[in-house]
Amino acid sequence: MAKRGSRLPRRQRLIGLWLLLSGISIFGGAVFALWLDSLAGLEGTARLLLWLGCFSGGGTIFLVGLLLERQLFTPLRHLQVQLARLVANPDARQDYPPEGWLRGLGPDLMRVREAWRADRERLATAHAEGARSAARIRQELETLLQVLDTPLLLCDHHRRVLLFNQAAETLFEGHPGLGLGKRLDALIPIASLEDALGQLPDDGAPREILVPCDERWLHVVLRRVPDSNHETLLTLTDTTAAWTSEMGARADIAELLPVLRRHSASLTSAADALMGVRDDAATGELGKRLEAVIDEESRALAAQLERMGRLMEDMHREGERLVPLWSNDLWAALEERQDSASLRITPIGMPAWLKGDAPALLALLDSLLPHLATHAGQAELEGEVCLGNRRVYLDLIWRGRPLGEKGLDEWRAERLDALPLAPRVGDVLRQHTSDAWSIADQDGEHARLRLPLPATERVGAPRPRTPPRPEFHDFGIADMPPPDSELAARPLKTLEVVAFDTETTGLELRRGDTVVSIGACRIVNARLLASDTFDLRVDPERPIPPASTAIHGITDDDVAGAPPLNVALPRFRDYIGEAVILAHNAAFDLLAIQPPGGGIAFDMPVLDTLLLSRALDDSLDGHDLDSLADRYDLSFPPGTRHTALGDARVTAELWLSLLPRLEARGIETLEQALALQASAFDREDAFAS
């Protein structure tokens, strides 16, 4: 919602005072002229001069005020806007050249502007040569970090995250604790790491520990970065599957081995005893008992072996090398391995997920294709994935007769030289608890080769791979004040700030209107993190009025299925963490996210760009978000105005533009900024829209 303060700016007060004085003077002159005219009884020119003289005071005040407004006050306001832009950004556009009596300042102001730009250009040139090589190395390092499949975190001695890569973002997908400047204990239980972090050697020697994280176990390798300010590099691996296998199927197999040995020993003893008495007629009863023992132990042994077989299958399915694979990706990778003149595979049917060792499966299928090409006598096959009970059938289909068992045996015996230790095809099949057979289709024209593979519970097509965040490291965080330092005394540039905005069903929050959308973004170390955002639709549990939809564009269908406010607020509070919050006309948005009975306390300090702008430029008109965006040369991307996230982003950019102006006024700490905005607060702001 657009929110606008109602406090009368100083300029309007001055104009009102000027018009009031002019009116009083003119009215007083008229009364005085009537009185003198009645006493003197003047006629003609003398009477005209009397009236003109009595009106001259008020007219002079009006004309002088009009002259000052046009020649001085308006140019001063324009100069103030231009100076505010220059302080925030020397490259901002110049809409208000000096005019009126200040016209002579034009060349001087332009000279200051150009000198400022020239100084920046000279400074940039001075750093360019040395920075070019560093930038290239940095870019290569960033690229390397982002393509690594191993999750990495770098934290400073205050446990604040300085760097993470895309693999870490994938590992902690959706976790509110991952982000630049956030504390490591918001991501991983710090108690598990405390001792290891405190005892790391400075030479970079690793320390390994297991850490519980939600429902997973992470294997963490910690290294102190040599010659640094006690920065620590963490390498993480999800070992949940491996431990599940160790403590599940493998543990059960280990328990089965003594039972199998016992049954085997009993069978051996009974068989030896039976051999010794089989020719003795007097021991017929003993022989029967021994045969019964052998039968019982054989059945028990068979049952245990069957159980062991199932456990082996489970162990293979849980193996670390068997990972979920999307069938379309498997077909595409297989086609890339073939020459253009080789066999082509056209996927048919619905794609599905399966579990497998991708390199081994590709090598296996790669070795199979020449056999099928020779047998089928054609250059194209079809590939299909069929779902079975706990299995997924990977089928290769051709027109013709099935492949004979002799040909399959020859293929199973082939060695796959592309794999480590050159295993046979049969070994790879056993790894997947699989086999291969060839069958004829019911139409009598086609045949297929079928490979049963382990299934996975994963459903739905894979989500598109998200690009890495533009900001995944900031080593300047290590120079920020310690997290436990007094918040009020921290410099404004070192604050962690969450800018937020809400869209609502209306403006009457105390009469039932409520939130339909919350958007927020994060500023760390005076840097707006483009991808560290919060954007959530909220079910207001009431119809959205058409008048409100006309402003923010959110309809009842848009919030259908969205979480209600009592579910959304805890998520938003987790996103904020320990940050200071920022809003434009914050009183309205704070009222929106703290409804009666909401149960979530937003008790952190609050910065308000409306109040700060008013305190800095009380004589200027327009402190609404649109006016300030124009004043500081900020822009709303198309379609983002009156969206919660779009307004929050511009509010964050506005805060960064206000920072240099606050510092120029000597406002450098959070305490000073809060005191400054308090001086501009008006009780009616809390109800403004």
pLDDT of residue 283: 53
Q: How many angstroms separate the Cα of 435 from the Cα of each of 136, 260, 313, 329, 626?
A: 51, 26, 13, 22, 68
Number of neighbours of residue 546 by Cβ within 10 angstroms: 8
Is it true that 148-320 and 329-454 share their CATH fold? no
Query: What sections of 545-643 are H helices per DSSP?
Result: 546-552, 565-576, 586-593, 609-616, 625-631
pLDDT of residue 536: 94
pLDDT 10s digits, 253-294 = 656 656 666 666 666 666 666 666 655 544 566 666 766 777
Q: How far apart are CA 179 and CA 154, in angstroms?
A: 11
Task: Quote the tokens at residue 533.
Answer: 């955002």
Give φ, ψ of 549 to 5 degrees.
-60, -35
Residue 498 has pLDDT above 60, yes or no: yes
Q: How far apart are CA 256 and CA 310, in angstroms?
A: 12
Classify 597 in phi/psi space as left (phi over 0), alpha (psi -120 to 50) or beta. Answer: left
CATH fold for the domain made of 481-688: Nucleotidyltransferase; domain 5 (3.30.420)
Residue in 175, 180, 167, 270 with CA at minimum distance from that of residue 213: 175
Q: Pick 148-320's CATH classification: 3.50.50.60, 2.60.40.2310, 3.30.450.20, 3.30.565.10.
A: 3.30.450.20
Handedness of CA 344, 349, 350, 356 (dihedral sign): negative
pLDDT of residue 520: 95
Q: Tokens 């405190």 correspond to what residue?
A: 198
**Mean local confidence (pLDDT), 355-370:** 86
Lowest mean pLDDT among 98-112, 388-402, 527-541: 98-112
Q: How far apart are CA 31 and CA 96, in angstroms?
A: 43
Q: Are 495 and 623 in contact (CB under 8 A)?
A: no
Strands 161-164 and 391-399: unpaired
Helix (H) or strand (E) holding 207, with range, is: strand 207-213
Task: Quote the tokens at residue 425.
Answer: 């095809």
Q: Are 159 and 238 in contact (CB under 8 A)?
A: no
Strands 391-399 and 446-454: antiparallel
Residue 502 has pLDDT above 70, yes or no: yes
Residue 2 has pLDDT above 50, yes or no: no
Residue in 287, 283, 265, 264 with CA at minimum distance from that of residue 274: 287
396 Cβ contact partners less than 8 Å away, ≥ 6 residues apart: 345, 365, 368, 372, 381, 382, 383, 448, 449
Lowest mean pLDDT among 173-177, 234-238, 272-276, 481-485: 272-276
pLDDT of residue 275: 60
Where along the chain do its domains lie? 9-134, 148-320, 329-454, 481-688
Strands 344-348 and 380-387: parallel
Residue 154 has pLDDT above 60, yes or no: yes
Q: Tokens 């099928």 correspond to what residue?
A: 372
Percentage of the residues of the chain whose pLDDT score is greater than 90: 22
| Confidence label for 20 from pLDDT (cuts 50, 70 and 90) | confident
Lowest mean pLDDT among 241-255, 388-402, 408-422, 491-505: 241-255
Judge if pTM exceeds 0.75: no
pLDDT 10s digits, 534-577 = 999 999 999 999 999 999 999 999 999 899 999 999 999 999 98
CA 223 from centroid of its chain's CA atoms: 27
35 Cβ contact partners less than 8 Å away, ≥ 6 residues apart: none
Q: Which residues pair with 451 in a beta bridge?
A: 394
Residue 411 has pLDDT above 60, yes or no: yes
| Confidence label for 649 from pLDDT (cuts 50, 70 and 90) | very high
CATH fold for the domain made of 329-454: Heat Shock Protein 90 (3.30.565)
Q: Is 143 exposed, middle or buried (0-12, 13-18, 19+ CB in 10 A)?
A: exposed
Residue 537: strand, helix, or coil: strand
Q: How far apart are CA 494 and CA 313, in angstroms?
A: 55
